[in-house]
């Protein structure tokens, strides 16, 4: 499925890089805490932040995560390290700011994102789990709640009520 998506996307957007590559982009819009819209290689596309998950719309701290992402990157030039393409045609990437900070990592440090247990499997994830643990211990951001619900669990519960 992913391979066919990559082939489809690369045929539709031949100037877009494949996983493992990257390039500069200008952030045009913040969609939510972990999704942005950018101008990349003269194309507009959505970018999902790799390896993390911020609260979903209507979940506690969703607005705080979106506001933080906006404060960090709205209108900014960023570097995208392409990791994958998702089933929605979004680039999945690590987003690095001009000052070399990683947006994905900063959201975890601020207690506004979970390290994604299903998708974050690289060496950097161990470091991010350390930041998540520290945010939990210091009760920063969403960790102020006694038992915050990870978005992947929240989505499953929400769909099971329909």
Torsion over CA: 85, 90, 94, 99 (sign): positive
Catalytic residue among 44, 56, 58, 76: 56
79 within 8 A of 96, measured Cβ to Cβ = yes
Residue 48 a catalytic site member: yes
Residue 122 a catalytic site member: no
Q: Tokens for 161?
A: 């009520």
Residue 56 a catalytic site member: yes
Catalytic residue among 29, 81, 90, 110: 90
The residues near 9 (Cβ < 8 Å, ≥ 6 apart) are 16, 85, 89
Written in H, E and C, the secondary structure of 36-102 is EEEEECCEEEEEEECCEECCCCCCCCHHHHHHHHHHHHCCCEEEEEEEEECCCCCEEEEEECCCCCE
Cα 98–chain centre separation = 17
**DSSP-assigned letter for residue 127:** H
Catalytic residue among 48, 105, 110, 132: 48
CA–CA dist 126, 122 (Å, integer): 8
Which residues are designated catalytic?
48, 56, 90
């Amino acid at each position: 499925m992913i391979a066919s998506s990559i082939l489809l996307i690369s045929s539709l957007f031949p100037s877009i890089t494949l996983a493992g590559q990257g390039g500069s982009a200008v952030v045009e819009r913040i969609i939510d805490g972990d999704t942005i819209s950018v101008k990349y290689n003269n194309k507009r596309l959505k970018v999902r932040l790799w390896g993390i998950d911020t609260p979903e719309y209507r979940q506690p701290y969703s607005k705080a995560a979106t506001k933080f992402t906006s404060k960090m990157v709205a209108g900014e030039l960023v570097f995208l390290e392409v990791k994958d393409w998702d089933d929605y045609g979004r680039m999945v990437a690590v987003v690095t700011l001009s000052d070399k900070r990683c947006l994905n990592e900063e959201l975890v440090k601020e207690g506004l994102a979970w390290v994604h247990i299903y998708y974050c499997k690289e060496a950097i994830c161990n470091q991010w789990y350390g930041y998540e643990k520290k945010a939990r211990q210091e009760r920063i951001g969403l960790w102020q709640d006694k038992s915050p619900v990870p978005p992947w669990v929240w989505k499953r519960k929400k769909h099971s009520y329909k």
